[in-house]
Structure 1
């Protein structure tokens, strides 16, 4: 079998996603720890990734925790500072695959509103042959439905898809459907895998 399409996750693969780091800088480590212990901020973000209104979801959460209102609203008001920076080597790999004529898709847990903000800020997000964005799909990884939706839309056999993601549960769900997978733990390992698959030369993957 040959790889017919390469599928990228985005958060922590192409763009760093470490909200805790932002809050550590802005409010300090101890206050950040206290807030994250009290408020399920990642669960709040999951609602956005499933298609919830970006501002409404976060501001509603902020009203439920008035002692953290200003800090929770930062998730919306300063979102681009949470989703930063880009990972340059990964971005180069995306560009190299496209230059080679390899079909490149995204499969990402991303909100509708956050995607609208991210694409102008990170133009490479607009270069995918097929962007699969959970907010528009109404389902998030690792739900098997999202992988089935990709298969039905792109018409590429599961065994011809090569998918990278930084979360083991997302990789496992894809592998269970027969996708080829790579657990992302840094761009060099991903580059090596693309070379091993014959998709890029060592020089192209540098």
Structure 2
């Protein structure tokens, strides 16, 4: 089956996304654990990914939990320190595909304002042929609708799309729609998959 477009997730595929790691470094693991047990911060972030205002959503959560107010607000003020560093091997693969004129898309759960900020820090986010950002689309992975919207927009048959993501539930939904998939566990394995599909050569994946 000829692949006509390659689709990258962004968080933990092109950019590390590890809020717990940042909190452990700043407030300590014990307080971070207590906060994450008391506050569903990932559910808060899901609202941002669905298109809710970035700062207002975090401020509302902070107001609900005054004992953790300052720590929760760090999700906004320290956000870029949680979304770091870039994963160089994946960026190399993105650019190698582009150099081969293989269409490359992004499909990511990302807020509107946070994605705009990320663009200023990671220029490679501007290099995709198409960018499907959940906050702009009003729905998130792994809901079927966001995959349907990608298919309708790009007009490529599902079986000719190759998608990588670090979350199994996102991969499973794509596969259920007929997409070719790769569970991302590191750029090395992703590179091998791209070579096996005939999209890149061994020399090209080395940058």
Normalised by the length of structure 2, the TM-score is 0.99
For 2:24, the equivalent position in structure 1 comes to 24
Distance 1:106 1:42 in 2: 21
* CA displacement, residues 60-111 of structure 1 (integer Å, 9 cap, x when unaligned): 0000000000000000011100100000000000000000000000000000
**Structure 1 stretches of 4+ moved >3 Å:** none
Count matched residues. 206
* CA displacement, residues 5-37 of structure 1 (integer Å, 9 cap, x when unaligned): 000000000000010000000000000000001
Distance 2:51 2:7 in 1: 21
Q: Alignment partner of 2:202: what SS? A: coil
For 1:164, the equivalent position in structure 2 comes to 164
Distance 1:120 1:31 in 2: 31
Structure 1 residue 142 displacement after superposition = 0.3
| Structure 1 residues 146-185: aligned runs within 5 Å | 146-185=146-185
Q: Tell me, which stretches of 5 or more residues in structure 2 are unaligned?
A: none
Distance 1:63 1:112 in 2: 22
For 1:34, the equivalent position in structure 2 comes to 34
| Structure 1 residues 1-206: aligned runs within 5 Å | 1-206=1-206
Distance 1:177 1:183 in 2: 16
Q: Tell me, which stretches of 5 or more residues in structure 1 are unaligned?
A: none
Distance 2:22 2:78 in 1: 9
Structure 1 residue 120 displacement after superposition = 1.0
Distance 1:89 1:188 in 2: 8
Q: Alignment partner of 2:205: what SS? A: coil
**What is the RMSD computed on CA atoms of the aligned residues?**
0.4
Normalised by the length of structure 1, the TM-score is 0.99
Distance 1:77 1:29 in 2: 19
